[in-house]
Each structure stands twice: as structure tokens, then as C-alpha cells.
Amino acid sequence: MNKTLQISFSLKNTYRVNSILYSVKQIPLIKKVLPSTLYSIWGFKIFANIIAAIWEILSIFLGKLIYLAFMIVGVSAMYEGVPQDALFLHIFLFLTVIGSYMNTYLFNPTQDKYYSIILLRMNAREFSLWDYGYSMVKLLVGFLPFAIYFGCQQGVPLWISLLCPFSIASLKMLLARFTLRDFEKTGEASGENQLGKFVWIVTGLLLAAAYLPPAFGLVLPLPVVAALFVGILPFGLWSLHKIITFAYYEEMDRQLLKNWKNPVQVGDIQRQQSERLISSDTTITSQKKGFEYLNDLFIRRHQKILWKSSKRLSAICAVLILACLLMFYLLPQTKKEVNELLLVFLPYFVFIMYAINRGTGFTRALFMNCDHSLLTYSFYKQPSMILKLFRIRLREIIKINLLPGVILGIGLALLLYASGGTDNPMNYGILATSIICMSIFFSVHYLTIYYLLQPYNAGTEIKSATYQIVMSATYLVCFCMMQVRMPIVTFGILCIVFCFLYFAVACVLIYRFAPKTFRLRN
């Protein structure tokens, strides 16, 4: 077992160091001055090892800090008149349930599992247990200080704050036990990356249960949550015995890792899944010419991929707005609080528009079912052709994202009016227009990133470190906007102006740089 732990750590550190060196080598400007023998230079390896060690430490603490600070404490600040200790535990409980099946540690097909079990043929049981144990220790060590700090800050008794990380671990182990038992009965392994529609529906209901009742002053009593946290601990110990004695780790891991790191097969599987959603109607045609013809056929044949989620999101937005209007009718006392929120919480909707924007799905479909082949032709990469097709595609992606954007923008203006209105009539128009501009901005942003940093290789794997950095930075900025409080007029005008400026800059960048960057990755 000791040897298994040493090899797994050594292996993980090796590919992490190589990944860091590869990522540095891909950054524009820097990659031109770095030698091609970068991987063999001792000094660079030491530097990468230091970065890897820092990253491992940050991975233990940083994610937990962000999770508690923003998802629980930050959101709690929105609710007034609710006991903060009970509110903290109420949200924490429901998010813990979601995390127990969406982040299992035991059923996640990872790179080090593939290398260790499939390529090096290490003992699957030993590796799985060591890897799972290390992950659970990181969870406990990472959560404990922040659970104590934020819990006590919100007025939660110290003994309950101390229990929180152990309750999380116990619930994860209980879910792991059920999954292992299911594998023994059926022989089918279910990874955490293969969640079905039912699981997503349950997740949505749990999120609603976490965040909606507090808006009406309803939270689970503190003694009830504390009893649940204490009660789950024996089940965790009970489940630990099953995890340790489970006899089929080899068979289960090989199922989970099947085809996981074979880029050709992964690409084939993704394309097959995508092809099932593409219309096979051979009568679909178009009267347009040139790139307009190409784009029109693409849109017509990919209706399910491109428009299905947009229509679903639009329906959800409409239902939520109608539910709020019904709430105003049934509970008139909620109008004042909602009105005050709408007048200063417009920056919060930056993250919401980021979350519902379908830009990544649109660009993935473009590459997999169109650009994957056409990028092999030189005419396709001429500046004038790229800019022309960029504008055509931008028009289409804006249409797709505009449907939920318009419904949400007009709906928020309607809610503002129905909740008591405002002294400044400009607020209605700016509120609706700024939401629509956010939708347009993210459409431009995702398509611009795709053209400037085209991240996919022939196997449809993302191979651009810069692309991942930009996407992470986008998420971080949008997440931080949830903490900004600004009047509608001020933030709305800034948002509208920024959207138009960004569009102009994007067109210039696409024309100048896309002929060099819009290509297949190696």
C-alpha cells in the first residue's frame, strides 16, 4: 500500500509539472522566447514543481473558501429578517446533499486513475482506496478552518461548525456505499460525469429549496439541521466498512475509464452523440449563397442542439417571472423587498446571464460539425472570409441567446413595475436593455474567444491553456459581480456602452489575428 501511495503521488506530480510547462509554452509572447527543450531544463522543472506544490495546497483550501464565502455567506447577505445562524446551516445542508453525488471522489474518472490503473496496471483496489482517502482528508482539512470561521461569524455554535466537514464526508461515504452496492447488483458503473435528467431535476429542486424559502423568511430550524448533521455520522462509519471491503474496484474503474483518455474514440463518441441530434432530413436546403448558404444549412440541421436549450431556458424564465407576479398577488408584503433588490442588484444578473448563455455549446457544435473539416482549406482562413463568417455566426448566436435575454429583461422591468415601480421611468428601459446587452456581450465574447484562441484539436480535446485561463477569468469576474451593488441607471449605462465597445474591438481583433489563430490544434 505504501508503494502504491508513493507511485501515485509521483505520477500525479510528474504529469502536473509537465502540464504546467506545456501551459506556459502555449501563452502568446512567452512561447516565442522559451526553448523547445523546455521539458529537459532542470531550472524550469524546479520552478514547475514549486508551482505544482503551491497549486496542491491551494486546491485544499481555496475552493472551500470560495464556496463558503460566496455560495453561502455572500448569498446570505441578501436575506433580511432571517436568523443568520439557521440560514447558514439551511443553505449548507442542501448544498452538501448536492455535493454528495455530484462530487463523489470515488467515481470520478481522472487522469491519474487512467495512467495508474489502465497504463501502469497498478492494483485498482489499493489505488482507489488511497486516492479516495487522500481526497477525503483534503476535504476535512480544507473545510474545517473555514467552517469554524464562517460558522462562528454567522452565530453558529462552535460544536456544530466542527461537525460540518465530518458530516459532509459521512454523506459522501453513504452515497458511495449505495453506488457500490448498486454495482454489485447490476454490474453497471455510474460515474459522476454521467448524470441523467432526473439527477439534474433533483439538483434544481435542491437549489430552489436552499435559496428560495429564505426569501420568504422560511429556513430549517437550527436544532433540526444540527440533529441531521449528528445523525449522519454513524452512517458514514457504517459506509466506510463497505468502501474498504468492496471487491470489484478493478471492474468498476475499468468501466469508468473506458475510452476516457483515447482522443480518437472520445472524439468519435462525441460526434456520434452529436449526430443523433442533427437532422437527417435530406430535403433541408437553402436559397442563399456562399457563407450564408453554409450557415443557413448548419442552423437548420442543428435546431435541436442550438435552439432546444434556449427555448427551455426561456420557458423557465417566463415561469419564474409569472411565479413572482403570483407571489406579489398572494403575499403583497414581499413587494417592497423585491423592489429594493431590483433597484440595486442589476450587477448580480451578470452572473445569471453568464450561466444561461449558450456560447460554449454553439462554438463546440461549430467546430465538431463544421470547422473541424473546413479548417483544412486555406481559403477558409483568409481575413475577409473569416470576418464575414464571424459576422454571420455572431448574428445567429445573438438570436439564440436573445430569446431568454429578452424575456428576462422585459420580465424584470415588469416585476419592477408590479412591485411598486420607481420614481425614474428610465429605470424600466435601462433594466430591460442592459439585460439584453449582457446577452449580446456574452455571445460576442464566446465567439471571439473561439476565433482568437481556437482550443480544439482533431480529437475535439481542448488543448489551449490560454483559452482555459480566459474562460476561468470570465467566470471569476462574473462571480465577483454578484457582490456589486449599484443603481440601475449607473450600471445599466456602463453595461450598454461596454457592450458596443467590446463588439467593435472584437471585429478588429478577429480581422487582424484570426487568420493566424483560427486553426486546428496539434
Q: Mind listing the pLDDT tens digit for each residue in 6-50?
A: 766 676 767 666 666 666 666 666 666 666 666 666 666 677 777
**Same domain flag for 199 and 302:** no
Which three-class secondary structure state does DSSP give residue 345?
A: strand
Please determine, for residue 71, whether its predicted confidence score (pLDDT) is greater than 70: yes
Domain-embedded: residue 39: no
Rounded distance between C-alpha atoms, residue 259 and residue 90, angstroms = 40
Q: Which residues contact 118 (CB under 8 A, 6 or more apart)?
A: 254, 257, 261
Domain boundary at 244, 261, 278, which?
Answer: 261
Domain-embedded: residue 447: yes
Domains held by the chain: number: 2
Read off φ and ψ for residue 486, nearest 5 degrees.
-150, 145
Mean pLDDT, rounded, for 73-85 = 80
Q: Which of 19, 15, 22 is nearest to 38 (CA)?
A: 22
Domain boundary at 261, 279, 313, which?
Answer: 261
Mean pLDDT, rounded, for 344-360 = 85
Domain-embedded: residue 45: no
Domain boundary at 261, 280, 308, which?
Answer: 261
Distance, first Cα to last Cα, the chain: 38
The lowest-confidence range among 206-220, 394-408, 453-467, 487-501 is: 453-467
**Same domain flag for 175 and 218:** yes
**Same domain flag for 469 and 509:** yes
pLDDT value at residue 37: 63
Ranges 185-199, 229-243, 246-260, 292-306, most confident: 229-243
Domain-embedded: residue 314: yes
pLDDT value at residue 506: 87
Mean pLDDT, rounded, for 488-499 = 89
Domain-embedded: residue 312: yes
**Same domain flag for 230 and 372:** no
Tally of CB atoms within 10 A around 425: 10
Please determine, for residue 288, whether its predicted confidence score (pLDDT) is greater than 80: no
What is the Cα Rg of the chain in Å?
Answer: 25
pTM beyond cutoff 0.75: no
pLDDT value at residue 359: 80
Rounded distance between C-alpha atoms, residue 293 and residue 431, angstroms = 36
Q: Are 515 and 381 in contact (CB under 8 A)?
A: yes
**Same domain flag for 97 and 212:** yes
Which three-class secondary structure state does DSSP give residue 318?
A: helix
CA 295 to mean position of chain CA atoms: 28
Mean pLDDT, rounded, for 337-357 = 85
pLDDT value at residue 187: 78
The three three-digit cell numbers of residue 464, written as one number: 489551449
pLDDT value at residue 44: 66
**Same domain flag for 328 and 226:** no
Q: Residue 409: which domain range?
A: 290-517
DSSP-derived letter for residue 118 is: I
Domain-embedded: residue 19: no
Check residues 110 and 226 and name the one with the higher pLDDT: 226
**Same domain flag for 174 and 252:** yes
Mean pLDDT, rounded, for 483-497 = 86
**Percent of the chain whose pLDDT exceeds 70:** 83
pLDDT value at residue 173: 92
Mean pLDDT, rounded, for 116-124 = 78
The half-sphere exposure of 134 on its side-chain side, counting CA atoms within 13 A, is: 16
Domain-embedded: residue 368: yes
**Same domain flag for 172 and 236:** yes
Mean pLDDT, rounded, for 444-453 = 88
- Judged by phi (left if over 0) then psi (alpha if -120 to 50, else beta), residue 53 lies in alpha
Residue type, 122: M
Q: Which of 130, 117, 127 is nearest to 258 (CA)?
A: 117
pLDDT value at residue 203: 85
361 CB burial (10 A radius; 0-12, 13-18, 19+): middle
**Same domain flag for 228 and 297:** no
With bands split at pLDDT 50, 70 and 90, how would you rate the model's confidence at 2?
Answer: low
The lowest-confidence range among 116-120, 132-136, 228-232 is: 116-120
**Same domain flag for 176 and 220:** yes
Domain-embedded: residue 400: yes
**Same domain flag for 303 and 238:** no
pLDDT value at residue 434: 92
pLDDT value at residue 233: 92
**Same domain flag for 244 and 380:** no
